[in-house]
Amino acid sequence: MSEARVALVTGGSRGIGRATAEKLASQGFSVVVNYLAHAEAAEQVVAGIQAAGGQAMAVQADVRSSSSVKAMIDRAEQEWGPVSILVNNAGIARDGLLARMPEEAWRQVIETHLTGAFLCSRAVLRGMLRMRWGRIVNISSVAGLAGNVGQANYAAAKAGLIGLTRTLAREVASRGITVNAVAPGFVDTDMTASLPEAWRAQALSAIPAGQFGSPHDVAAAVAFFVSDEAAYITGQVLSVDGGLGMR
């Protein structure tokens, strides 16, 4: 494993982000838990990691803002050194049929998922290039692979992340940096917990495994991609979906 041990998880206060932050901390990484609005939840993640003997800090930043992202990276570097692992997980949903979708709902989702990943990736690359080692993992979605009714903005953003993943992987592969994506299916998070029971039942019927995944299932895939065992894997998309997206 590289000596570079600083990981940044965007949207790290809940769900997949929280599970990923906890997983990376358990493997010895110093983890920056990024959040936008849920300060208390982020501090709870940090407290749990510290109680388990790990090292973490919560940093508020809006990933849609280049200045906010820069301030976050600067703080991480001042505290621990260059960020060597970036997990672009921050995301929101503003669902609705495209014909009635407000422009703001489109912009918010695209800017959070896709522009946020661009800004954060660009901000950490300088340090990774100097180290000649780095791992970037983008959290995409099965919606980005197959589309989903009522989620034109979300699916477009998640599909864009796959294009970003593969392009950046080509650009930095010769410098010891890998860039991969994880595409979760239906995962038990705050977002899916609020769905109507009839919708959840319909979703379950489409999953060959017969159950929703957990955030820890996704975190395990991220942990693999950032490991030395995955050093020769880049530009790939790993679906963690219970077989939902099988062709």
C-beta separation of 29 from 81 below 8 A? no
Host H or E run for residue 240: strand 237-240
Q: Which amino acid is at 149?
A: V
Count of alpha carbons within 13 Å of 77, Cβ hemisphere only? 15
Rounded-to-integer distance, Cα 139 and Cα 199, Å = 23
Tokens 């672009």 sit on residue: 88
Rounded-to-integer distance, Cα 230 and Cα 236, Å = 11
Hey, is 104 helix, strand or coil?
helix
Rounded-to-integer distance, Cα 159 and Cα 124, Å = 22
- The single residue of 35, 106, 133, 154 carrying the catalytic annotation is 154
C-beta separation of 43 from 242 below 8 A? no
Verify whether residue 154 is a known catalytic residue.
yes
Catalytic residues: 154
